């Protein structure tokens, strides 16, 4: 490729814009790692990155099992009480994706010979990744290769690959090698703290077996003591004269198929994969579990697995699809995002949802508050069972959270800032330990799920205990001052550029909601309250603290300060900060950030969204405008919240701009770190920006409310969602919104404050024009890209 051709390739989009798939029309080695994340497949239990079948070249190999980790030390420059001594890092487990091919002794490698055609397609309705290649070897032998892979959403332990090879114009001798590979070499990490730690050879072999077309490898981790098994089995179709052989060693299992193909003939290998892990089950038990999963997959067959996958996704899209007219990129992005959000939690089953899902090792595979605040709202209204499972995992880790609170001298539960199995893994306490708001975020997710589903069993078995434990934390962490006001001092809010502050507005409002919810649940379930030792006096103290909660307000500026004294700080010199110095955390000391008015991510503005009832309409307008001028969006979590609130205060075109940023973050690799895995919370922001933003959807207390309005760049928005055994569709144009009940008994809804009952017949209601206001400015150089120039 000459220089002009290379420049032309670089200028072309990596993925074509299509409504129901992500298509890569040519292989871009410079974007290989990004595509491996974009094309990752997962079901919440097992995740495989979109590496090429032959394994090389690669950007970052990756196969992950949810919550399967290795321990590593967390060295501190100075030891102090309460610091965690070890961390947890997700590891790349046994790779079953590899199928190597030799054509007349020449290894198939896209870096050699000639690639005539290379296309990959992620089908969002079929749940498959398909690859089409036509390649001529250095010895001038031309073949077509087609592979389709899936991670089953119905058979939790199973993945499968269908691999076809055909000669194009002459007979060829082909050898295919299907492998299981443990302890793959990984590229080194950089200086970005958002990337992962690299652990070399974390797996120790315990067993390897080859039998017929099956191979099984069992390993355990060196330090965390976890055990895993991976197995593969094959169905092979081809000429009668095939030679098939299997072998195994501690870290490699291999099936080799050799044959000669005439034009018109085909070699097909269907590879079934199964994975399992446990911290308690024995080696024989795991062995049998994987053998059983393989048997189930083979009995279902390739076509059966595809049919099950399509049926599962059809049911999901029936209650989750979003249609966007006027912005084709957003249309593709929101379905792509919903697909990956579903994959992250569909079959997690009492496991966490990591910040990267199972698409890459970024953030060491940890989960944060992102899950409860941004991801679970999407799942609650589209796939509520997945939301319940994620919250069930929090409940399972509650004893560790109680233990952590006691270590910190507090009552109740202190859930970890970042973790895999429930232990605190953040070594930086101002942003970690002090970010207590995660406890209210978890409580809020519990309350949201119960409200949306009326799942009383969940509330009794999971919800009450979590909400009570977190309420006890706030009553212990805060205090009534001499004037009777309830204060929560020395905490870190969502904005990590302000740490260890007094009375963060978001934290205090969410804590107030947590305290009120705990008192309400104790009243609804007196038997459980009695079992948890909740007295009438304690419940009353929760209500007293909530009623007396301090919510700072700056009368001079007429805005809410993010926390006490925030608006008295000097403003950051945005004009003097060069674009290449963002994100600021990689180029400036935290000391300087902490004492200036500069906001990493929406904090006070997040309070406007999630606790909107605490603000007047005028306060929302003024607060949003003020914080627009301070927020630099060095966090991928920010744009979606700014989109939602911008839409609420009538800044519809600005909301559209922010929606583009959150929805296209990974497809366009806007932060240049998609290689480490997708930003699952930002992907959830595509749905949040459209449904909560332009749909104006808010829910709580049995009330489902909408206040839809569209920007000029979107002519129609339609979305489906689930609420209290109802499945409904909302269709929005510039002039009106139509509400339709697709399934269920019917319900009361609110449209721009007007109550109505939705039953058998669709209801159309008019939308009043928005009040025009000047567009607020952003820090110099940090304006979102305009969608109006498309």
Residues serving a catalytic function are 496
SS3 302: helix
Query: Would the annotation count 572 as a binding residue?
Result: no
Q: Distance (Å, rounded) from C-alpha 495 to C-alpha 521?
A: 30
Q: Is residue 600 part of an annotated ligand binding site?
A: yes
* Residue 369 known to bind ligand: yes
Q: What is the separation of C-alpha 178 from the centre of its chain, rounded to a whole number of angstroms? A: 31
Q: Cα separations (Å) of 101 from 175, 215, 222, 379?
A: 6, 19, 33, 40
The residue assigned the tokens 């399934």 is 743
| 345 HSE (CA, 13 A, CB side) | 34
Q: How far apart are CA 43 and CA 441, in angstroms?
A: 25
Take residue 146 and report the two structure tokens written for it.
Answer: 């087609």
Are the C-beta atoms of 392 and 350 separated by less than 8 Å? yes
Q: Find, among 56, 89, 47, the residue nearest to 72 by Cα.
A: 89
Alpha helix positions (H), 561-700: 590-594, 604-610, 617-628, 638-648, 652-663, 680-687
Please name the residue that has the structure tokens 């590593």. Answer: 72
Show the tokens assigned to 144: 């077509």
Pick from 247, 255, 323: which is nearest to 19 by CA? 323
**Contact criterion met (CB below 8 Å) for 366 and 425:** yes
Q: Is residue 407 marked as binding?
A: no
Q: How many CA atoms lie within 13 A of 285 on its CB side?
A: 7
Residue among 614, 679, 612 nearest 647 (CA): 612
Per-residue CA distances from 169 to 134, 135, 140, 164, 172 (Å): 12, 12, 11, 16, 9
Q: How far is CA 556 from CA 509, 553, 561, 572, 618, in A?
A: 22, 9, 11, 20, 15
Residues of the binding site = 369-370, 600-601
Residues of the binding site for substrate = 369-370, 600-601
């Amino acid at each position: 490729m000459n220089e002009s051709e290379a420049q032309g390739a670089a200028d072309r989009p990596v993925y074509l814009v299509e409504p129901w798939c992500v298509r890569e029309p040519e292989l871009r080695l410079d974007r290989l790692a990004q595509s491996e994340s974009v094309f990752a497949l997962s079901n919440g239990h097992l995740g495989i990155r979109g590496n090429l079948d032959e394994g090389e070249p690669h950007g970052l190999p990756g196969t992950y099992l949810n919550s399967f980790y290795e321990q590593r030390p967390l060295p501190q420059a100075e030891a102090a009480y309460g610091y965690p001594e070890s961390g947890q890092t997700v590891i790349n487990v046994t790779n079953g994706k590899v199928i190597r091919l030799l054509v007349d002794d020449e290894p198939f490698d896209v870096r050699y010979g000639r690639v005539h055609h290379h296309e990959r397609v992620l089908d969002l309705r079929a749940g498959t990744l398909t690859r089409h290649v036509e390649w001529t070897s250095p010895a001038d032998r031309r073949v077509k290769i087609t592979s389709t892979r899936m991670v089953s959403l119905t058979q939790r332990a199973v993945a499968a690959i269908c691999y076809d090879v055909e000669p194009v114009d002459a007979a060829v001798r082909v050898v295919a090698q299907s492998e299981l590979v443990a302890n793959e070499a990984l590229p080194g990490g950089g200086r970005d703290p958002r990337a992962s730690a690299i652990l070399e050879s974390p797996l120790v072999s315990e067993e390897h077996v080859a039998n017929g077309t099956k191979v099984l490898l069992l390993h355990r981790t060196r330090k965390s003591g976890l055990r895993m098994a991976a197995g593969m089995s094959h169905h092979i179709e081809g000429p009668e004269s095939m030679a098939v052989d299997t072998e195994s060693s501690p870290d490699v299992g291999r099936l080799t198929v050799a044959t000669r193909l005439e034009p018109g003939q085909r070699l097909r290998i269907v590879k079934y994969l199964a994975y399992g892990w446990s911290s308690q089950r024995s080696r024989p038990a795991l062995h049998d579990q994987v053998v059983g999963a393989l048997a189930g997959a083979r009995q279902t067959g390739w076509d059966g697995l595809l049919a099950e996958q399509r049926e599962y996704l059809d049911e999901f899209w029936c209650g989750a699809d979003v249609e966007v007219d006027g912005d084709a990129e957003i249309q593709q992005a929101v379905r792509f995002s919903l697909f990956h959000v579903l994959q992250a939690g569909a079959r997690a089953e009492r496991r966490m949802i990591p910040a990267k899902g199972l698409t890459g090792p970024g953030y060491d595979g940890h989960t944060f508050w992102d899950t409860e605040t941004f991801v679970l709202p999407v799942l609650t209204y589209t796939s509520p069972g997945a939301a319940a499972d994620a919250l069930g995992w929090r409940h399972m880790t509650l004893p560790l959270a109680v233990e952590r609170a006691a270590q910190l001298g507090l009552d109740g539960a202190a859930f970890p800032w970042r973790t895999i199995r429930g232990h605190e893994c953040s070594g930086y306490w101002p942003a970690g330990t002090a970010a207590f708001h995660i406890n209210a975020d978890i409580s809020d997710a519990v309350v949201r799920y119960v409200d949306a589903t009326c799942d009383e069993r969940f509330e009794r078995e999971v919800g009450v205990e979590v909400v009570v434990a977190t309420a006890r934390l706030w009553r212990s962490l805060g205090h009534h001052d001499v004037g009777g006001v309830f204060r929560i001092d020395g905490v870190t809010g969502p904005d990590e550029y302000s740490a260890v502050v007094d009375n963060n507005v978001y934290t205090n409002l969410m804590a107030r909601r947590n305290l009120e919810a705990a008192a309400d649940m104790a009243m609804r379930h007196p038997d459980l309250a009695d079992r948890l030792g909740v007295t009438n006096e304690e419940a009353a103290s929760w209500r007293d603290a909530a009623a007396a909660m301090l919510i700072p307000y700056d009368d001079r500026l007429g805005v809410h300060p993010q926390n006490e004294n925030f608006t008295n700080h000097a403003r950051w010199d945005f004009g003097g900060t060069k674009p290449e110095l963002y994100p600021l955390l990689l180029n400036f000391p935290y000391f300087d950030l902490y004492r200036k008015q500069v906001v990493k991510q929406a904090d006070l503005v997040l309070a406007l969204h999630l606790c909107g009832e605490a603000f007047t309409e005028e306060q929302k307008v003024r607060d949003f405008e003020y914080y627009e001028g301070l927020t630099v969006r060095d966090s991928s979590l920010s744009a979606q919240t700014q989109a939602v609130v911008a839409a609420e205060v009538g800044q519809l075109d600005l909301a559209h701009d922010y929606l583009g940023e959150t929805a296209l973050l990974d497809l366009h690799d806007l932060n240049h770190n998609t290689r480490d895995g997708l930003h699952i919370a930002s992907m959830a922001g595509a749905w949040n920006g459209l449904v909560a933003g332009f749909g104006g959807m808010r829910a709580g207390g049995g009330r489902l409310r909408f206040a839809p309005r569209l920007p000029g760049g979107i002519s129609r928005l339609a979305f489906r969602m689930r609420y209290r055994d109802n499945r409904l569709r909302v269709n929005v144009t510039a002039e009106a919104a139509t509400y339709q009940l697709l399934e269920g008994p019917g319900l009361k809804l609110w449209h721009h404050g007007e109550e109505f009952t939705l039953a058998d017949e669709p209801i159309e209601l008019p939308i009043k024009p928005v009040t025009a206001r000047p567009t607020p400015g952003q820090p110099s150089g940090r304006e979102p890209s305009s969608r109006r120039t498309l």
